[in-house]
Structure 1
Amino acid sequence: MKVDIDKKTVRIRFLDTHKFSDVDNVPENITKGDFIVIETEKGEELVLVVGRSVPDVENPSPYRFIRKATKKDISIFEKHEREAERALGLCKKFAENLGLKMNLLRAYIPLNRSKIMFYYVSEGRVDFRQLVKDLAKKLRMRIEMRQVGVRDGVQMAGAIGVCGNQCCCSVFIDKFDTVNVEMLEEQNLPPTPTKFTGICGRLMCCLAFEIDNYSIRKDLPEIETEMEINGKVYRVKDYDFIREKIYFTTETGEVISYSFEQLDQLGIRKKSPCENCNMKNGGENRIEQ
């Protein structure tokens, strides 16, 4: 797909999964807050424009712009939402009768009624063949079951996080980064994953937001390391990666701070392994300017 230079690329949000993506070749008169109709693998969909985006020439959007949404499009979408809600209730009833272990989140019908999709979360695989047969017989539509992850489920449903704000995934996250326990240590946080578990039961996505800020840690002197700066001896007390500062205590117990930029200007660096050889001979663990 080629990007038309007379048109633009916009950022969109899907109304069923609440995920973000881009659409190329959109007319210039389309602005933030407009609804447009696009063609996707699910059919014709009504989506929300959330802003302008930069076209990716190497990986163009797989979606095709059809038109700016009309009142009729919005009316059909709302009608389908009511129909999908009833279908979801029916699906939950059938699944319960069949003893299927699945958490059904929502149903969705595209504008052109190409199919009806049921999104669900499950810890394992679900044999829903009979469920699909029962639904198809009752709804007389093509049925598609889509399993999503627990984080995708929260993104779709929306929730309030432990911080008191809406979960980041339901507000702006377009893809889920890997979050692991090692990030707690890197950010000087207590090694207790339960304190940093989100609504979805996984480690909170925000742990990955600032991880790049901590990459400088490998270049900083270790805590309790003695350093000599401008002829004075200091001991490393703590780091503040948000403010980009390092705190020292003087020989008299006074606490002072230097910015990471100031350390760089002074030429302060982390002691290399070979420099630790002096420790074997009783030398002090000291880094000099």
Structure 2
Amino acid sequence: MGCSSCSTGKDGQPRGCKNNGTCGTDGCNKLTVFDWLSNMSLPNGEKPFDCVEVRFKNSRKEFFRNTENLTLSIGDIVATQASSGHDVGMVTLTGELVKVQMKRKKVDYKDKDLPKIHRKATQNDIDKWQKCRDREEEIKKRAREIAIILKLQMKISDVEFQGDGSKATFYYTAEDRVDFRQLIKDMAKAFGIRIEMRQIGYRQEAQRLGGIGSCGRELCCSTWLTDFRSVSTSAARYQQLSLNPQKLAGQCGKLKCCLNYELDMYLEALKDFPSQDTKLFTEKGLAFCQKTDIFKGMLWFSYKEDPSSWHTLTKEQVQEILEKNKKKEKVASLEEYTVDNFVKEEKVFENVVGQDSLTRFDKPKRPRNRNRKRNKAKSNSGKNKNSNSGNNPNPQKKRGRRNNNQKRQQKNG
């Protein structure tokens, strides 16, 4: 996500191109396709594909036909056909890979009604386009104020100007249907342009705005995710996650898209795994499943009469007991199987870096009491002096008494 314009400046500080994905080098754009056929020449007699991919603000990409046979490359600013007037965008892909992208997005490349590219954008077109983009934040703020005055239950999340400045598209989110006819009249009178309102979902709003997820990284929908798949709570159940909506919901308020990333692996592991509703019939009593670990292949069962004590069984052992139960045979108890499963796990690691053990911070260090050591040293020295002086425990005190008596005698004499 970095290019020559938005990498680093002086003293290693991030410079930032502030173009929101419209850099001329096309190196920090969202969902940019790498043209791995750019260095390969076409076979003799083959004409280059006459369609190109053009990206506009944020992630909006459309396909246009190059009827004028312009020599276009990635990063060129072009003036394209619009519903009325012209729009300005940047070329993001050319050549045969455009045909692959059109098939992937189900766009007919043989359609003669595809919009066309007029010309390469002139400096006048670029200046006008940049001036319109600078007005977007101000107009978005003013449009929100008008919507609040009209008491409309909607949120205007983004504004996109057409390249020639004659039209603006307002993207909004709303839970219910909104009557915005008066809003369009007020905005057209205030801004002097044609207005188009386009409703988007909450995920599309998060995709356009961007942000940081709970994982600490940029949102997937604003960086690399191309399509939105439906996410249900069953995906969290299969992965044994707590059904807490605050933890499972993303910034858009919907379930996180990343719940689908590992779902296929869990479903594959659960194919030959006993269900959590499994019941085991033993001579000691009926046992219920309390917990499962899919990737370790372990299940924990407890008796109906004693639900607090759990017994660990492997997946194969549970299937063996179930086969016996189908033949109306009961095993003696679960304890026969749990004894074999009890293996003490030893932590094995290699001291590669030359550090101490990995658990050196687990045990709290004993406080160093230097006063105790000093007291012990003094007591030991006192004992040694007593042993050397024999029966006289304090010879210094006696010397002091003799000196005092001599001074008193001298005063009296």
Aligned length: 249
CA contact (8 A) 2:128 2:164 kept: no
| Separation (CA, whole Å) in 2 of partners of 1:238 and 1:48 | 51
Amino acid at match of 2:59: K
Structure 1 residue 108 corresponds to structure 2 residue 160: yes
Structure 1 residue 59 corresponds to structure 2 residue 107: yes
| Separation (CA, whole Å) in 2 of partners of 1:186 and 1:14 | 40
Q: CA deviation at 1:19?
A: 2.9
Which shifted more, 186-195 or 115-124? 186-195
Q: CA deviation at 1:199?
A: 0.7
Change (3 A) 1:100 1:210: same
Amino acid at match of 1:60: D
| Separation (CA, whole Å) in 2 of partners of 1:38 and 1:213 | 45
Alignment of 1:90-101 (within 5 A): 90-101=142-153
Structure 1 residue 77 corresponds to structure 2 residue 129: yes
Q: Which residue of 2 aligns with 1:282?
A: 330
Q: Secondary structure at the match of 1:219?
A: coil
Change (3 A) 1:13 1:172: farther
Q: CA deviation at 1:49?
A: 4.3
| Separation (CA, whole Å) in 1 of partners of 2:65 and 2:178 | 40
Q: Secondary structure at the match of 1:47?
A: strand
1:111-136 Cα distance to aligned partner (Å, 9 max, x none):
13342221112222222111111112
Q: Which residue of 2 aligns with 1:176?
A: 228
Could you list the runs of 4 or more consecutive aligned residues of structure 1 that deviate by over 6 angstroms after TM superposition? 274-277
Q: Which residue of 2 aligns with 1:210?
A: 262
Change (3 A) 1:149 1:239: same
TM-score, normalised via structure 1 length: 0.68
Q: Secondary structure at the match of 2:81?
A: strand
Of residues 161, 172, 194 in structure 2, which corresponds to 1:120?
172
Q: CA deviation at 1:82?
A: 2.0
| Separation (CA, whole Å) in 2 of partners of 1:30 and 1:283 | 76
Task: Please report the RMSD computed on the Cα atoms of aligned residues, expressed in angstroms.
Answer: 4.1
Change (3 A) 1:142 1:185: same
Q: CA deviation at 1:81?
A: 1.2
Q: Name the % identity.
A: 31
Structure 1 residue 157 corresponds to structure 2 residue 198: no
CA contact (8 A) 2:56 2:90 kept: yes
Q: Secondary structure at the match of 2:103?
A: coil
Structure 2: runs of 5 or more not aligned = 1-45, 279-291, 300-313, 333-413
Alignment of 1:33-52 (within 5 A): 33-39=75-81, 44-51=86-93, 52=97
CA contact (8 A) 2:86 2:163 kept: yes
Q: Which residue of 1 aligns with 2:63?
A: 23
Change (3 A) 1:81 1:22: closer
Q: CA deviation at 1:33?
A: 4.2
Change (3 A) 1:9 1:276: farther
CA contact (8 A) 1:21 1:174 kept: no
Amino acid at match of 2:148: E
CA contact (8 A) 1:11 1:49 kept: yes
1:180-236 Cα distance to aligned partner (Å, 9 max, x none):
1111122333332321211111111122233333342343333799xxxxxxxxxxx
Q: Secondary structure at the match of 1:198?
A: coil
Structure 1: runs of 5 or more not aligned = 226-236, 241-245, 250-255, 257-267, 285-289
| Separation (CA, whole Å) in 2 of partners of 1:171 and 1:124 | 29
Change (3 A) 1:136 1:73: same
Q: Secondary structure at the match of 1:96?
A: helix
The higher relative CO (CA closer than 8 Å, separation ≥ 6) is in 1
| Separation (CA, whole Å) in 1 of partners of 2:272 and 2:52 | 42
Q: CA deviation at 1:74?
A: 3.0
Q: CA deviation at 1:110?
A: 0.6
1:227-283 Cα distance to aligned partner (Å, 9 max, x none):
xxxxxxxxxx7444xxxxx5569xxxxxx9xxxxxxxxxxx9xx7xx9687353337
Change (3 A) 1:280 1:75: farther
Amino acid at match of 1:278: K
Q: CA deviation at 1:165?
A: 1.2
